[in-house]
Structure 1
């Protein structure tokens, strides 16, 4: 039954992912939709009862977590840190705006939703969690959107990557604090998250660079066992951040990000070539597992109104927060609008956050279902809106192979957030 369930999930994800791509959407939109359609929404729940019995679901959940961890490791290794040079101050300013407004407006909405939805824990924990969920940007999906459109090689693309990375890190820390309030995590473990991050960046990364340089001086290629070593490193980092309350995907991403680029080119190419397909294949399993908790068959008129409010606040909060902060940092109107649109990509990361809320009782099934619909709609809006605010013709005149972020583009330079 586990093998049959896996086969059905992969077929559904491939079919709907291809359909999404054909209409100009990221495949992740179709894959998430496939997960929802395989859940209890259709046919009175007959599909999940038949294909995903209770004894199969733990196995699917394990495969789903493995796929997410591998995917985030590769994303971390693929992060081109040259795109962050000279933009750290601007990235921090835009990240602050893109988090503060949706968080504050989401928290206010949570006070209203708390009257009609039952959650465990305190109202404060629910309000903070919901605000954080509204402030999420799906870093992996954003990178995929930029790459598909060739925008990863221009200034606004590099800035968007930096903003999303900073924003996700802040939101994960906030979620760790929320879990502490709910009793899911002890306070002293959460405090250790900051030293762990500092050790990884300022101690582990230089040590890895020293080892890579020594091997390069000897003229010997990196041994095949290095692949296993990197996987062990990522697994250990994921386990550490999970224990600290930051979720294992943050640790897996951090492991990939701190691996130095110089002297490890062959290792990087080998790891990415071997394990990227594994992560891509298993990610739809995560979407299917998330979809098992989504039931839209009982949506009422009141729920439709709540969904409209959630969408309005989620989309407008992200866009206006990022836009205003980007303009304050000296970005042109076009670039500011582009950042506002890109920050609304939610996808995978949003689902992970919502899953945490469901597991800890901070979200009930009804509100979880509405938030998943918001995730799909907000992510699906990104492509069409991006086509309007940053049309492909602006990329047509760029030299082939351009990768440096400082490509001349229209718009004023300087600003309060420029270094």
Structure 2
């Protein structure tokens, strides 16, 4: 019987999917968001857990060729997941909307960024990549701690029934705007260190991509949807055309010096919102993405991690604890300050701080980009991945505690009550 690379890859995929969803189900029983278990399952499949307990079996399945194949599939899963989030995001503006969000985004982004930058200066070379300029590392660490995981936040809001509430949609919109600014900042950092091909000129194709998407791609998508009846059977070209456009947009984003997830999210945003059957169309992509592709992304992170480097020395453990404390404290403090300056009650501000503290997938992506371009070292990568897991894991229990202490049991006050400038509409319908 031949045990070639293809057979190894199929076995690896089956192990990854089973591990992610079993751990997700177990942690869901423990009242954790399912996505926390899926991320943990991806980490367990790596050398730290399964590789340590059964090194011969792990090495036999996860050969270098298989790991490369898993990594490529993981990037495909990330592209589809972020596209779905952008395609299903709904925002309705009201009076004062921009003023409210400006305060929230400023607090949730700038305070963690500033304190993260100070932490970057204080940690010196412990987390920085070899030879990276200190300003680039300092800015990168500040940006990494200011992240909120827009994809994971969308899933948590659905799992806790908050996707249609005023605070849920407000948090999702704030995270979208904040992460958009964070990705723009990451592009500037990469351009500054010469990682975004062409240096600062890498910003030109990035801006051009956005213009083309709005001015050309969106009208074409609208025409295609109408001609196909929303994918209800008149043509078989709609799904292939959308997939091809998504792949091209993600590839152009990558080539322009951004991460491919930026292009995928932007492509999702320009999907027409006022046409029938859009939800049924995106649902056709959602199942396979959530069940198979996204766990592969978590596993690709786990296969590159090794916890002994962190927990093998006391100083590294204390450094990790310091980074976690700064990440959590700055996010709560900044978000609550922005919310209260916008006129929201203290309790609503605390709920928003809890939601914005979720870093999840976005932090994993940013950490991967930083490691790939030498902005952080292996220890820095491990620390940021664990920060993403810890902060995301804290979100669920804190929400439960807040809901149990709320007389209405909704975390959002009486139905119909909304703050000045509230955002309404549906959140991302992901991860059901």
Q: Could you tell me which residue of structure 1 aligns to residue 394 of structure 2? A: 381
Structure 2 distance, partners of 1:395, 1:200, is: 42
Shift of 1:213: 5.6
Query: Structure 1, residues 304-332: CA drift from partner, whole Å, max 9, x if none?
Result: 10011111100111111111011111111
Shift of 1:256: 1.4
Q: Which is worse superposed, 159-168 or 40-49?
A: 40-49
Structure 1 distance, partners of 2:226, 2:295, is: 38
Shift of 1:49: 2.7
TM-score normalised by structure 2 residue count: 0.86
Q: Matches of residues 244-259 of structure 1 in structure 2 within 5 Å? A: 244-259=256-271
Q: Could you tell me which residue of structure 2 aligns to residue 114 of structure 1? A: 124
Unaligned runs of 5+ in 1: none
Structure 2 residue corresponding to 1:55, chosen from 48, 61, 65: 65
For residue 308 of structure 2, give the secondary structure of its aligned residue in structure 1: coil
Structure 1 residue corresponding to 2:99, chosen from 89, 100, 114: 89
For residue 62 of structure 1, give the secondary structure of its aligned residue in structure 2: helix
Asked if 2 retains the 8 angstrom alpha-carbon contact of 1:48 and 1:292, the reply is: no
Asked if 1 retains the 8 angstrom alpha-carbon contact of 2:99 and 2:421, the reply is: no
Shift of 1:348: 0.8
Q: Could you tell me which residue of structure 1 aligns to residue 147 of structure 2? A: 136
Structure 2 distance, partners of 1:38, 1:211, is: 42
CA RMSD of aligned residues (A): 2.8
Shift of 1:2: 0.8
Q: Matches of residues 164-179 of structure 1 in structure 2 within 5 Å? A: 164-179=175-190
Q: Could you tell me which residue of structure 2 aligns to residue 394 of structure 1? A: 408
- Does 2:369 correspond to 1:356? yes
TM-score normalised by structure 1 residue count: 0.89
Aligned pair count?
A: 406
Q: Could you tell me which residue of structure 2 aligns to residue 14 of structure 1? A: 21
Structure 2 residue corresponding to 1:297, chosen from 296, 308, 330: 308
With over 3 angstroms needed to count, the CA separation of the structure-2 counterparts of 1:140 and 1:250, relative to structure 1, is same
Structure 2 residue corresponding to 1:74, chosen from 63, 84, 108: 84
Q: Could you tell me which residue of structure 2 aligns to residue 41 of structure 1? A: 48
Q: Matches of residues 174-323 of structure 1 in structure 2 within 5 Å? A: 174-185=185-196, 186=198, 187-209=200-222, 212=225, 223-263=235-275, 265-266=276-277, 268-280=278-290, 281-298=292-309, 299=311, 300-323=313-336
Structure 2 residue corresponding to 1:27, chosen from 25, 34, 52: 34
For residue 92 of structure 2, give the secondary structure of its aligned residue in structure 1: helix
Shift of 1:414: 6.9
For residue 394 of structure 1, give the secondary structure of its aligned residue in structure 2: coil
With over 3 angstroms needed to count, the CA separation of the structure-2 counterparts of 1:45 and 1:251, relative to structure 1, is farther
- Does 2:157 correspond to 1:150? no
Structure 2 distance, partners of 1:76, 1:107, is: 29
Structure 2 distance, partners of 1:310, 1:137, is: 16
Q: Could you tell me which residue of structure 1 aligns to residue 428 of structure 2? A: none
With over 3 angstroms needed to count, the CA separation of the structure-2 counterparts of 1:80 and 1:3, relative to structure 1, is same
Structure 1 distance, partners of 2:32, 2:94, is: 27
Asked if 2 retains the 8 angstrom alpha-carbon contact of 1:99 and 1:135, the reply is: yes
Q: Could you tell me which residue of structure 2 aligns to residue 338 of structure 1? A: 351
For residue 81 of structure 1, give the secondary structure of its aligned residue in structure 2: coil
Q: Which is worse superposed, 136-145 or 151-160?
A: 151-160
Asked if 2 retains the 8 angstrom alpha-carbon contact of 1:39 and 1:292, the reply is: yes
For residue 297 of structure 2, give the secondary structure of its aligned residue in structure 1: helix
Unaligned runs of 5+ in 2: 1-7, 424-432
Query: Structure 1, residues 137-190: CA drift from partner, whole Å, max 9, x if none?
Result: 100111111112221212111111110000110010111111112221121122
Shift of 1:292: 1.5
